[in-house]
Amino acid sequence: MSQAIVAVSGTQALAASSPTAAVDLAVAFKPFTPDALANGAATLLGALFGALLAYAFQRRMQARAEERNALTSAHHLMFSLLQQINTIVLIQRDYVYEHLKNPGRFISIPATPQFDIEKNLLKVPDLAFLLDSKAGRAVMYDYWLAQENYVEALNQWNMRSALHFEKVQPRLSASVIPNGGTVSEGALQLVLGNHLFGTLVSSTDNCIEALSRAYVKLAEVKTKARAHLVQRFKTNDFTDFDMPETYGLVPPPPAK
């Protein structure tokens, strides 16, 4: 008898709980109507579209900033070339030119204070904007070689000036050779000694050659770099300059 009561109670409990479960399920799915689903999808798509627009805008602003930085670096490149070329020309004009044909130029070309070699140099990050094309990389390569020649020319000049000031002038001052007077090469060699004399002669010749080579390299890359920058940035607003007088830096054309 007790078992029948239990069975009937279980059936009644199931019957009683089923309507409640059905109601709960209906309540749970009630928000997922077609309109609600459409609104939700529209919200998600709107958020995605907004994010894409924001990303596109950010990328556009970044591209513009990168282009402005590249343009600034391009002007910096041309200004650096102007400074380097001008430095070479000034050394040649002020200290070398009038002595070029003098057999005693190794003595008559004066010593100068040391030039700051790092002052007008560009580093690799300054030229990074040239890496975006084959033509740009060629300009970067040529500029780098020209700048190395510029550094070498100033190094040679500084070493000769130090040699002249620290070694040659003290020996000349201690000798009987009059200041500014005419003296034979043999007398100079006797006063300076064979080693110092030979070093001064070769150092002077190296300076003259290095200055000329640096000028030619820099002038060539200036023309090539500017042509590339005008095409790259679609503007002619880049420094253009020519030296009307090179003071013997450019070797004369061979006689026909």
Give the C-alpha distances (Å, rounded to integers) separating 139 from 35, 147, 163, 240: 62, 12, 36, 16
Residue 168, in any domain of the structure: yes
Q: Which two tokens stand for residue 255?
A: 């006689």
Beta strands in the chain (DSSP E): none
Give the C-alpha distances (Å, rounded to integers) separating 244 from 85, 88, 104: 12, 14, 28
Residue 52, in any domain of the structure: no
Number of domains in the chain: 1
C-alpha 91/C-alpha 246 separation (Å) is: 11
Residue 79, in any domain of the structure: yes
Question: By C-alpha distance, which of 77, 101, 81, 5 is closest to 243?
Answer: 81
Domain housing 204: 75-233
DSSP-based helix, strand, coil % in the chain, nearest 5: 75, 0, 25
Residue 130, in any domain of the structure: yes
Q: Return the DSSP state at 238.
A: S
Residue 86, in any domain of the structure: yes
Collapsing DSSP states into helix, strand and coil, what is residue 83? helix
Instruction: Spell out the per-residue pLDDT of the chain, length 256, in tens.
Output: 444 444 444 444 444 445 565 555 555 555 556 666 566 667 777 777 677 666 665 666 666 677 788 999 999 999 999 999 999 999 999 999 999 999 999 999 999 999 999 999 999 899 999 998 999 999 999 999 999 999 999 999 999 999 999 999 999 888 877 666 677 888 888 899 999 999 999 999 999 999 999 999 999 999 999 999 999 999 998 888 888 899 999 877 666 6
Residue 220, in any domain of the structure: yes
Q: Return the DSSP state at 124.
A: G
Burial grade of 123 (CB within 10 A; 0-12, 13-18, 19 or more): exposed
Residue 18, in any domain of the structure: no
Do 200 and 163 form a contact (C-beta atoms < 8 A)? yes
C-alpha 81/C-alpha 86 separation (Å) is: 8
pLDDT score for 139: 96
Q: Return the DSSP state at 30.
A: T
C-alpha 142/C-alpha 81 separation (Å) is: 12
Residue 138, in any domain of the structure: yes
